[in-house]
A and B are shown apart, each in its own frame.
Chain A
Amino acid sequence: MQVNEFKPLIVAFCCNWCSYAGADLAGNNRLNYPAEVKIVRVPCSCRVNPMFILRAFQKGADGVILCGCHPGDCHYTSGNYYTRRRMALLFSMLDYLGIEKERTRVEWVSAAEGAKFAATMNDFVEKVISLGENKRLEDLRCKK
């Protein structure tokens, strides 16, 4: 058994109406996705303030993924459209500051897409493992 294998911490913000149900479906269907993914349920992907994302990195996340309903399917009609603009600008800014752009992602997952949820998480965790530990947005004060 490998001893020092890197176990990333992934925070997934999931919208209550689509992606959270999608994660549930993935579980019901016994689809595997890494246990490193910690899901935070939010009422809408639009609830996620850019500060949440940075905060997750501060508290030790190595990757942050935001899942919401497909554009046009928002429970609140337009929440995910705002998310899309907001995150496009935030991710572009993070990239501008030289922070690895693979560490952040937005994915649209519906309640029926359990398989997509599992596949997305597997792919994302793999990406983050290849990047290694989050060094550029870490807060040493929060390290144990």
Chain B
Amino acid sequence: MQEIKREDLIAKAAQLLADGTVDRVIGWKKGEFDYDVTPAVFTTKEELENEFVWNDFCGANFSKYIKKEAEKSESKVMAFLKPCDTYSFNQLLTEYKFDREKVYVVGVPCNGMLDDSKIKESASGISSVTEENGKVVVDTLYDGKITLERADVLAERCANCKSKKHAAYDELLGTEGEVLDSKRFDEVEKLEKMTPDERFAFWQNELSRCIRCNACRNICPACTCEKCVFDNPASGVENKAISDSFEEKMFHIIRAFHVVGRCTDCGECSRVCPQNIPLHLLNRKFIKDINGFYGEYQAGAEVGSRAPIVDYTKEDLEPSEAVERGEENA
């Protein structure tokens, strides 16, 4: 259950539309199913009342949508941002991707979003998902009502939430949260402790499921290049290669590498992956390495910060030492 109510969000959006502060609102609307909430642009109060959705499946990060929407016209656009989305927002501002003056940010507190693929593991034919007494109640077509613990179906990124504090907003609804002490690197450490053969087998298993739908790239708020290296038909990695496993490794290594120092760990890549590949583990490895090698750095915590990958000191460690250090952890 979210702290703030749908009606409050609609009232705020309607008020901003009415007084002319903004002329478009980026929000969520119902998709095919209850758990399939999709981003949408609203321009009137009626649209908001009919279609706007705010529930436990509003995971979409609007930062990248803001960039696209801000390019369309000179007028101001409003977006609802959850705490983790505001980091991406700051990061895009750092990269001059849009004009801050053209955006009005309404911060909304977030109690964590649910992962529909986790719900689907224990329920099929889901017709609605509601919450009663802190438990998730899933209404299904075949098995009636199924009650699940909220912690069991919470999205991975939310279970390891790094911050409930908004890094940027014009207006905040609800209460301001805190930066949390998350355990998000635990899984990465577990992998580091494996032998290289086990790690290879693990990733081979995960990455071979990739269908190269490019959803992770398209959703990523850090992937905002107009032209992407992966669209080059001469690269041999622009499409899924059935015959071998190189393409998937190349794609995932480079995808993660291209957002080094800019990835805020919002977890959108893993959320949208239709094959449930734990892509965040690649990004987190880079974040963990940066923290370990060059000092703690959180992309998007403030506007204008210099990413470690475009910076250096004379005493940086050598690449060989970097690998050795990983070994010591094992």
A, B co-complexed: yes
Among A98, A99, A138, residue most surrounded by chain B Cβ atoms (within 10 Å) = A98
Complex interface: chain A residues within 8 A of B250 (CB):
51, 54, 58
* Separation of A93 and B202 alpha carbons in the complex (Å): 14
Q: Does the CB pair A88–B293 fall under 8 Å?
A: yes
| CB-contacts of A87-112 with B (<8 A) | 87-101, 104-106
Cβ contact of A50, chosen from B199, B243, B254, cutoff 8 A: B254
Cβ contact of B229, chosen from A51, A87, A90, cutoff 8 A: A51
Q: Does the CB pair B309–A95 fall under 8 Å?
A: no
Specify the chain A residue showing the minimal Cβ separation from B244. A140
Q: Does the CB pair A141–B243 fall under 8 Å?
A: yes
Q: Does the CB pair B322–A88 fall under 8 Å?
A: yes
Specify the chain B residue showing the minimal Cβ separation from A50. B257
- A105–chain B nearest beta-carbon distance, Å: 7
Interface membership of B185, Cβ < 8 A = no
Report whether over half of chain A's contact residues are helix, strand or loop; otherwise say mixed: helix
Cβ contact of A88, chosen from B198, B285, B318, cutoff 8 A: B318
- Given contacts A82-B312, A85-B308, A85-B309, are A96 and B197 in contact (CB under 8 A)? no
Complex interface: chain A residues within 8 A of B282 (CB):
93, 96
| CB-contacts of B158-206 with A (<8 A) | 191-192, 196-204
Interface membership of B54, Cβ < 8 A = no
Cβ contact of A106, chosen from B204, B311, B320, cutoff 8 A: B320
Interface membership of B20, Cβ < 8 A = no
- A86–chain B nearest beta-carbon distance, Å: 7
Complex interface: chain A residues within 8 A of B199 (CB):
96-98
- B312–chain A nearest beta-carbon distance, Å: 4
Interface membership of A71, Cβ < 8 A = yes
Q: Does the CB pair A98–B197 fall under 8 Å?
A: yes
| CB-contacts of A24-61 with B (<8 A) | 50-51, 54, 57-58
- B258–chain A nearest beta-carbon distance, Å: 9
Interface membership of B273, Cβ < 8 A = no
Residue-wise interface mask of B (286-330) relative to A, using a CB-CB cutoff of 8 A (1 in contact, 0 not):
100110011000000000000011111110111111110010000
Q: Does the CB pair A96–B191 fall under 8 Å?
A: yes
- Given contacts A82-B310, A85-B308, A139-B244, are A105 and B253 in contact (CB under 8 A)? no
What are 29 A-B pairs at a CB distance below 8 A?
A: A54-B249, A54-B254, A57-B246, A71-B314, A71-B316, A81-B314, A81-B316, A82-B309, A85-B293, A88-B293, A88-B316, A88-B321, A88-B322, A89-B289, A89-B293, A90-B319, A92-B289, A93-B253, A93-B282, A93-B285, A94-B253, A96-B285, A98-B198, A98-B199, A101-B323, A106-B320, A139-B236, A139-B246, A141-B243
